[in-house]
């Protein structure tokens, strides 16, 4: 019996390791759900991020119409990859507001000239304060916001062609 008790700490460690490793290898869910889903957009008012466009404010986002809020940057490679999908959504009549993170107006203007400009307005967020308030961990991220300014859906990462139907569905549900 004493021999078995000597091995008990090792057996407990192995059991703990197996449980911990199985949780890392196959977690229950790989979806990250924003804590802001169902909550109003944080209060903010951003100056225009680029000449010729209006800035963006949280008050403007409660305009009675569902829309997208896209957090992006000119220095972001995945933002280039999602540009065709944003153009497609804008051509389908989806209002898109941009929040440009830690960007310079001249870099942003070059990015829009190269990759298209699907944005109704673009606010510059030079210190990422709005990005942090949104709980956004990187760029690009896109939020579906209903007409009352309530966040209804969050898409993390670049919007790929296969994501467009899901985003359109989320917009339809936000009406």
Whole-angstrom distance, CA of residue 72 vs CA of residue 95: 16
Mean pLDDT of all residues belonging to the chain: 91
Q: How do residues 77-100 score in pLDDT, each as one tens digit?
A: 999 999 999 999 999 999 999 999
pLDDT band at 16 (very low <50, low <70, confident <90, very high): confident
pLDDT for 26 equals 65
Neighbours of 47 (CB within 10 A): 14
Q: How do residues 119-155 score in pLDDT, each as one tens digit?
A: 999 999 999 999 999 988 889 999 999 999 999 999 9
Whether CATH 3.40.30.10 fits 31-174: yes
Neighbours of 175 (CB within 10 A): 9
């Amino acid at each position: 019996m004493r021999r078995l008790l000597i091995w008990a700490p090792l057996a407990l460690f192995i059991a703990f390791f197996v449980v911990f490793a199985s949780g890392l290898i196959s977690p229950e869910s790989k979806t990250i759900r924003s804590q802001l889903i169902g909550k109003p957009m944080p209060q903010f008012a951003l100056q225009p991020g680029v000449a010729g466009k209006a800035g963006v404010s949280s008050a403007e986002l409660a305009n009675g119409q569902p829309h997208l809020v896209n957090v992006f940057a000119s220095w972001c490679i995945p933002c280039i990859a999602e540009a065709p999908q944003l153009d497609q959504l804008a051509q389908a009549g989806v209002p898109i507001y941009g929040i440009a993170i830690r960007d310079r107006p001249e870099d942003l203007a070059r990015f829009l000239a190269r990759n298209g400009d699907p944005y109704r307005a673009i606010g510059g967020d030079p210190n990422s304060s709005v990005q942090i308030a949104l709980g956004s961990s990187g760029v690009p991220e896109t939020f579906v916001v209903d007409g009352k300014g309530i966040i209804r859906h969050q898409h993390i990462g670049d919007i790929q062609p296969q994501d467009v139907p899901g985003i359109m569905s989320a917009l339809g549900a936000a009406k």
